[in-house]
Amino acid sequence: MEKIGILTGGGDCPGLNAVIRAVVRRSRALGYDVVGVKNGWAGLIDGDVEPLTTFSVTGILPRGGTILGTSRTNPYKNAESIQKLKNNWRKFGLNYLVAVGGEDTLGVAQRLNQEGYPIVGVPKTIDNDLAGTDYTFGFDTAVQIVTEAIDRLHTTAESHKRVMVVEVMGRHTGWIAAYSGMAGGADCILVPERKFNLHDVCALIKKRIDRGREFAIVVVAEGATPAETDHAITRTGRLDEFGHEQLGGIGEWLGQRIEEITGIETRVTVLGHVQRGGTPTAADRVLATRVGLKAVELIHNKDFGHMAALRGTEIVSVPIEEALREKPLDPKVFDDAAVFFG
């Protein structure tokens, strides 16, 4: 019996367990054995795998996170790691692999596939910034979580007559900021795609106050960049194994300066990993299930080097390389949100 491996790499995301469940159920129905690779690519390097059965995935549909664990391990960082990975592929008798992840995980999958390892992909990111697919599972849940936070902050902002700055995820794109900001009625939204002028933001807040609205909600993506700098704000300068700098700090930077310039008491909420956690929404469960089923179909049809993607209402096969391009926020979405600024 042929064997399919599945791994989840990169940041965790609501809906991952729904993908795992779908892959196992469809694979078993088609006569494949399934092996779960623990902790992303690290599991294939370290030889940490476990058999997955229908019983293994019972009850995991509504659970957040991933039962397989995850990591940001880059096996191509050194020759020893990639050789261990390839040795373990043979050792565990893998015939195929489903790689669930973002641009880094899928980038490794693409490279291995080009070297002759039959791999298919499932795009995953709460940021919704992967090209090749209209939406990624996890995004809807993240937007729901942020929107609920904005709703709650509205009441305390209004009660205390404060400016509330809400920092959300979005390294290079502002999908979460724009969607949750629009849904939550934010008075200003700042995204990585458009540099912002600090004094323009403060003028907008002052204009709102002058109209008698004595509070404001500002939503800012972690990768948003002030016009006076040429780089995003960071706290530590640390890099992960794929060379990405750890962002964070724009909320505090912005909140401090808004208070200094406007004289209005300002508080900052950094939602951080709260956006990744918890139960996936119904929409994310359905999308994750559908792309998981499609991934097995790709393997069964020998459509390697491709991933399961959402186009309109259909789940289709597209080359993994398409996911390695960034998908910026649709400017029309931002313009729609901007109608309600101030």
Catalytic residue set:
127
Phi-psi region of 48 (alpha: psi -120 to 50; beta: other; left: phi over 0): beta
The token pair that represents 105 in the structure block: 């995980």
Rounded CA gap, 75 and 255, in Å?
39
Helices (H) and strands (E) in the chain, counts: 10, 13
What span, in angstroms and rounded, lies between the C-alpha atoms of 106 and 331?
Answer: 26
C-alpha 256/C-alpha 239 separation (Å) is 26
First to last CA, the chain: 62
Q: Single out the residue of 202, 177, 180, 199 nearest to residue 190, CA to CA.
A: 177
Return d(Cα 137, Cα 310) in angstroms, integer: 10
